[in-house]
Chain A
Amino acid sequence: MRNIYHKKTILSAALAVLLLLLFVPGNIQDKVPGIPGSADLCLQAQAEETITLRVCNWEEYIDLGDWDEEETIELPSGDIIGENSMVDDFEEWYYETYGKRVKVEYSTFGTNEDLYNMLTLGDVYDLVCPSEYLIMKLMAEEALVPLSEDFFDTGDENNYFIRGEAPFIREIFENSEINGEPWSRYAAGYMWGVTGLVYNPELVTEEQVSTWKILADPSYARRVTIKDNVRDSYFAAVGAVKSDLLSSEEFKNDPDYRKKLEKEMNDTSPEMIARVEDWLKDVKDNVFSFETDSGKADMITGKVAVNFQWSGDAVYTLDQADEDDYTLCFAVPKESTDIYFDGWVMLKSGIGRDPEKQHAAEAFINFLSRPDNAIRNMYYIGYTSVISGGDDPRMFEYAQYCYEAEDDEEETVDYDLAYFFSGDRDQTDSEFVIEAAADQMNRQLFSQYPPADVIARSSIMTYFNDEQNARINQMWINVRCYDIRRVPWWSWTLIIGAVVILGWFLIKRWLSRRALSH
C-alpha cells in the first residue's frame, strides 16, 4: 500500500544477494568481506538456544541499511547512518543487551486485507504491523496478546518506545477503545500520517484543494485520482457530502467538536451510504484512475493534477518531483482528514504463552523506537515515526536538519511543532519551532509533520462491524460495476445478434460432426 518505488530496486538487489549467499558454502562466506564472522555466528547460535521471532511488516517499511557515505545524517548529537539492515542490528543489539540470541524471520505483506487473509489461512507470526482498523478488528476477535507491564516501565532505559512516544499519539491510543479496552494495551504505534491531496500549484489553486469536493469537480475531468480501496474513498466521500456542516463555524466551535467530528466521519447509516454511493459514482466518471501505487508516478509525470494521497507517500512524491525541478504541493481539506497509524501487535497464535518470545517481540518494538533507528526508518521510507524522542533531542534535531531554512533564505516562517514534540497544544513560546522556508508551508514539512490545526480537525476512522462492512462493500461494488440497466438498446441488439449467429454456427457444426461420426 504505502510503497516507495526506487527502494524496490534496492530491495530486489538485496534479496538477490541474499539468495546467492544462501548457496555459498560456509568456508567461502568466511572470505567474503562485509559479512563479518558469519561462520562463528552460526557456531555460537548452535551452541546456545536461539529464540525465533517471526515478524511480518509492510513491504519496504523498514531500513535495509547499506547507505552511501554521503547519506550520513549529521545531527548535533551525533551522526546517523544505516550500515546494516535494521533486523541484523536488532539481533546484535539483543545479544549485547540481554545475552540471548534471537533470529528474526522477516516477511512482508502488501495490504491489510492480504495480511488478514494470510492469518486466516493459518500463517503464523509473532509480531505484525497492520493499520489501526485491522488492529481493532484483531482486538475484537481476541487474537492479540497484550503488551506486558514491563513494556510500559519508563524507568528501564531500554524501553525506548514508552520513553519516546509522542504525547498526542499516546493520548489517541489511550482514548480509543474497542470492547472497553484501549488500543495502547495491545498496540505500539510505528508510523502515522493523515490523508490529503497532492496537487500541481500551476493548475490548481489552494482554494480549490481545500475541499474533498474537488474530486468530483468536472472542471478537472479525468485529471484527479482517488484510492482504490473502499475505506479511504468512503472517508473522502463523507467529507465531501457533509462539507457544509463540517466546515461551518458553528460545528467547529462546538465544545464537543472532536467527538462529534469522529461520529460524523464514521457515519454508516443507510442514508449516508446511499449519498456516498451517488457521490462516488460521479467521482468514477471524473477520475483518471482508482489507484494504489501508480498515482505517485502519474502525478510526477504530469498526467494528473490532483492525487488523493497518504501524507507519507506525499513526501516521497514531492521529493521525486523536486529532483525533476517540478513543484508539487500537499493540502489537507478543510472538512476533516483521516489520521491513520500502523502499529505493532503480538499475535496469540504465534507468541502463545512463551515469555521469552514476548520479551524479544517487545524488545524489537523498543529497538525500532530508539531515536536513531526511528530516524533511519523515517529517512528510508519517508513516513513519520510516532516517536518524538522524549528526553532524547535527536528526533527534533532531525526535523530541523531536514526543514530548517538556509541562512540566505529570504522569506521564513516559524513552524510550531510543540503539539508533537512536547504535547502542549497551546504553548506559544516554544522551543520546538522550526524556522522554515516560507514555501515549505504546503510542501514536505507540512506533509511530514502536519501543523496543529490539521491535527485538530483530524478524525480516526473506526473499525466497522460485519454488518456495516457488508453494506459498505456492497456500495463499493455498486460503484465499480456496470449496471445492466444502463446498457443501451443498440448494444443489446449487437451482442444478442452476435451470440445467436455464433450459437447457430456452433450447433450446426456439432450436429454435422455427430452425423459424420455415426
Chain B
Amino acid sequence: MRFSRKSLGIPYAVFLVIFVAAPLLVLFYYAFTNGQGQFTLRNFTHFFTDPNTLGTLYYSFTIALVTTLVCLLLAYPVAYFLATSGLRSQSVILMLFVMPMWINFSLRITALKEILNLLEGNLAMHPFLNAVVGMTYDFMPFMILPIYTTISRLDGALCEAAMDLGADSLQTFLRVTLPLSVPGILSGVSMVFLPAMTNYVVLDMLYNSTYIMGSLIGSYFAAYNWHGGSMISLILLAMICIFTLLTGGEEDEPGRGGALL
C-alpha cells in the first residue's frame, strides 16, 4: 500500500467516529425514544411546555449573557492595550493573564469561594452575583486571547492611513480597529457564552441552589431518565449550531490562542 499524507488522518478519523459520531447517534436514539424503546416526540414537547425547564433555560441564558458582557467589557481594553502598547514584556504580561488557566479549576474556584465569603459575609445571599463572578473569573482568558490575537495582527498601516486622512485617535479606534477586531470578539463570545450556560460545577461550588442547563441534564441522568437528559443535550447542541452558523464563516479565524492553553 502506498503511504500518502492522507493516511496520517486515519487515527483522527477513527477517534472522531468512536468518540464523536457514535455518542451522537446514541444521544439521538435516547432523545427520541421512551423507556420502552419506542419512538416518541414527548421528550421534545415536554421541554417546551414545562415552565421549569424553560425557566432553567432562561436562567442559564441570563447568567451566560451577563457573564459574556462582563468578560467582554473587561477583556477588550486589556487585549487592546496589550496588543498596541509595544511593551517589550508583552508576552510576559499575556502570560500573567493566562497563568490561572494552568492551575486546577476546582482549586481556583475554592479559593474564589473563600474570598467571596470574606467579602459578602454569607455566600448564599447573592447566588446570581456569585455565579457571574465565578464564571467571569473562569472564562476570562478565553475572551482575552482571541481579541489579543486579532488586534495584534491588524495592519498598523490602516490606522496610520486613517490618521493621515484626518481622523483623531477615537475615530480611528471606532471606525477602523473596532470593526476589524469583530472576528476576535465573536470567537471570544462563542468560547465564553456556550460553556457558561452549562458549567454547573461553578454554581455548585459557590452554593447557588438553582439549576442551570448542565445541572438539569445531570439530575435527569441521576434519576435514570436518559431520554429527557439526552433531549436537553440535543436542544443545547442545536442552539450551539445556530449560533455558530450565524457567527461563523469568518475567513481569517484568529488563532484562538490555542497554543498557549
Contacts and interface: CB of A to CB of B under 8 A. Distances in A.
B207 A480 contact: no
Interface string B163-204: 000000000000000000010000000000000000000000
B124 interface: yes
The interface residues of chain B, by DSSP majority, are classed as: helix
A458 interface: no
Contacts of B124: 222, 287-289
Nearest to B179: A509
Interface in A433-479: 469-470, 473, 476-478
A483 B124 CA distance: 20
B221 A117 contact: yes
The bracket for how many chain A residues form the interface is 35 or more
Given A117-B221, A222-B125, A481 B210 contact: yes
Interface in A463-506: 469-470, 473, 476-478, 480-487, 491, 495, 498, 503, 506
Interface string A105-117: 0000001010011
A507 B55 CA distance: 27
B13 to A, nearest CB: 26
B246 interface: yes
B61 A476 contact: no
The interface centre, meaning the residue of A222, A284, A481 with most chain B CB atoms within 10 A of its CB, is A481
Contacts of A275: none
Interface string B106-133: 0000000000010000111100000000
Interface string B200-231: 00000001011100011001011111000000
Nearest to B62: A495
A248 to B, nearest CB: 33
A484 B225 contact: no
A148 B123 CA distance: 53
Contacts of B117: 303
Contact of A482 (B58, B122, B125, B249): B58
B87 interface: no
Contacts of A401: none
Contacts of B59: 481-482
Interface in A118-169: 120
Interface string A282-305: 001001111000000000000100
Contacts of B225: 470, 473
B211 A284 contact: no
B125 A480 contact: no
B209 A289 contact: yes
Contact of A469 (B51, B61, B123, B223): B223
Contacts of A486: 55
A99 to B, nearest CB: 43
The interface centre, meaning the residue of A120, A289, A290, A495 with most chain B CB atoms within 10 A of its CB, is A289
Given A473-B225, A477-B219, A482-B59, A506 B54 contact: no
B222 A481 contact: no
A510 B249 contact: yes
7 contacts: A288-B122, A480-B210, A480-B211, A481-B210, A482-B211, A495-B62, A509-B182
Interface of B: 51-56, 58-59, 61-62, 65, 117, 122-125, 182, 207, 209-211, 215-216, 219, 221-225, 246-247, 249
